[in-house]
Structure 1
Amino acid sequence: MTSRHKRILLIATLLVVLFFIAYSAFFRSYLDSDAYLLMAYEYTGHDPTIVDWQYPDFEIINHQGRLTIHIIFHTTEDMTRGPIGLYIDPFRKEVFDEDPRGAATAGSNSTS
């Protein structure tokens, strides 16, 4: 291996290490799952129908052209109205959208 190849390998290794350090710092500062969990739970007004607010389903997705954290709280009303789904912008640290929930109406089971 020539000295030029060694130099290229060393520079490539340093770049990969720097990339992983920056990647780790980004996700530690913007994707703090506990902070987003508390933010989402407070947004619901501590809804008493939420089954276990500390263990929701969540995923990182692209929603409305933005990187978002999608948190889904399962409730005792999942069969009638569906779960509570919230979209959080990790850069602004705010809830900006919700999944629609069905209205629980007494006459919805009519047969005509």
Structure 2
Amino acid sequence: MTGRQKKKLIITGIVLVLFLIGYSFIFRSYLDTDFYLEMAYAHTGYDPTIVDWRHPDYEIIQHKNRLAVHIIFFTTEDDTRGPIGLYIDPFRKEVFDEDPRASGGGSGQIVQ
């Protein structure tokens, strides 16, 4: 291996390491689960029927043609109304949609 090839290899390695560090930093700043959890819980108005707000189900999905963090809070009313599902835009850091739930009386009507 010539000196020129070694330089190219070293530069390529440095660029790759810097890229991975930058990607890791950006990825962590957009996917701060504690921030989204606090935001989602506040969006529910700190609903007292939520069983364990610190341990919801969540996933990263496409929803309405947008990348979204989907958080699902289980409640004491899951049998009658269903869980609380929220969609958070990780770039705007805001709740932009909710899963429908049945109304409070258990009548089976869907409220959006």
> 1:21: which partner in 2?
21
Please give the TM-score of this superposition, normalised by the length of structure 1: 0.84
> 1:45: which partner in 2?
45
Task: Give the aligned length.
Answer: 106
Measure, in 1, the Cα distance between the counterparts of 2:65 and 2:10.
38
Measure, in 1, the Cα distance between the counterparts of 2:3 and 2:52.
59
Quote the offset at 1:56 in angstroms: 0.6
RMSD: 1.5
Q: Deviations over 1:14-73 (max 9, x none)?
A: 222112111121123222111111110010011111000011111111211211111110
> 1:70: which partner in 2?
70
How high is the sequence identity, in percent, across the aligned residues?
67
Measure, in 2, the Cα distance between the counterparts of 1:82 and 1:48.
15
> 1:34: which partner in 2?
34
The residue identity in structure 2 corresponding to 1:19 is: F
Question: What are structure 1's unaligned runs of at least 5 residues?
Answer: none
Runs of 4+ in 1 over 6 A off after TM superposition: none
> 2:3: which partner in 1?
3
User: What SS does the corresponding residue of 2:58 show, helix, strand or coil?
Assistant: strand
